[in-house]
Structure 1
Amino acid sequence: MAATEAKVLAQAIYEIRMLLSHHLGSGVDADLSVRLAAHLAYALHNEALAVIEGNGFDVAEAVKRVANIDSFLGGTAGADFARSMDA
């Protein structure tokens, strides 16, 4: 499997998801930025795996999952991400 820009970034997202997995959930006592990073990586890890395997994914669904982060962590990070994808 030849490394491409997309595969390098996808592998990084997948690894970040694994590294931050213990920061997922509502009962976690961690800095909000760490929790946001964990949930962002979690929201996109299946898409990252698809890219690593040479497959595609539904971009709109992926962006919706990221936007949904706000519903359980509060704030606007997910919505901000979604808006940046429209730009």
Structure 2
Amino acid sequence: MMESLRTWSAPYGGETFLLLTLLAVASYGLLLFYKARLLEAQLRRCIRLAALVALPLSFVAMEMGSNNWGIAVLSFVWCIVVGITCKNEITRRLR
């Protein structure tokens, strides 16, 4: 199974893409699990942290060549999803 995943992910960044996908899914799952327990300031910090991680990661991936565009897209999508989730939790608490 891992060999077929490696073959599939080769055009998008290879094993690095698979590892970052696993980390993105795991971190989003933890955010969903803990978002009710986090303070509003911590949720805002999560939004900033997601942007601080995604922007340099996508820049480095784009500079490494066209073979790593999947990593850049994954980091942007992860940042947007984390931001929207945190924003929705903040607005839910303000009502």
TM-score of the superposed pair, with normalisation by structure 2 = 0.32
Which one has a larger percent helix, Structure 1 or Structure 2? 2
Indicate the structure whose relative CO is greater, using CA pairs within 8 Å and at least 6 residues apart.
2
TM-score of the superposed pair, with normalisation by structure 1 = 0.34
